[in-house]
Amino acid sequence: MTLETVHPVKYRAQARLAITVARLLILLSPDRLAAVLTRLCRGAAHASATEAGEARNVVCALSPRCTGQGCLQRSVAVVILCRLRGSAPDWRAGFAMHPFTAHAWVEVDGRPVGEPEKVSAYTVVHASHVRPSRARSRS
């Protein structure tokens, strides 16, 4: 099975766009990046673990930089790709102390997607949360 049979051309084009935009966004300060992602995800539905996992897989398949040590660009690209498809996972950046490790990842329902379980214990220092839009009541 190849990437072409698993992911339609449109999805791959969206993924390439997400990867490119993520490459630019990671140049921002961490606070600014979290603010941009929070704003981007405003009104989105919460992504399912399947949606976020599929987005992560296609981002990694298309970008050598996002595979392995490229966690910041990968996590931002996953958020953007999910958002392009109508949903969004939560984004996190944090660290562990022993040994010191910094990492960025996406979560769905408080669980890291495509990451080792130990990431759940990391101290989160920057985050964006999905806040679905509320239906406006007419008065």
pLDDT in tens, the chain (139 residues): 455 555 677 889 999 999 999 999 999 999 999 999 999 999 999 999 999 999 999 999 999 999 988 999 999 999 999 999 999 999 999 999 989 999 999 999 999 999 999 999 999 999 998 877 654 433 3
Neighbours of 38 (CB within 10 A): 17
> Quick check: 81 and 15 in contact, CB under 8 A?
yes
Give how far Cα 42 sits from Cα of 107, 114, 134, Å: 16, 23, 10
Q: pTM to 2 decimals?
A: 0.89
Q: What pLDDT is recorded for position 115?
A: 96
Question: Which tokens sit at 44?
Answer: 């989105």
Of the candidates 134, 126, 111, the residue with the CA atom closest to the CA atom of residue 38? 126
Q: Name the packing angle between helices 30-41 and 71-84 (round to 10°).
A: 20
Which tokens in the block code for residue 63? 């970008």
pLDDT of residue 125: 97
- Residue closest to 108 by CA, chosen among 56, 48, 60, 55: 48
Q: C-alpha angle with apex 54: 51 to 123, nearest 5 degrees?
A: 75
Could you report how far apart the first and last alpha carbons of the chain are, in Å? 54
Q: How far apart are CA 112 and CA 123, in angstroms?
A: 13
Residue 139 pLDDT: 38
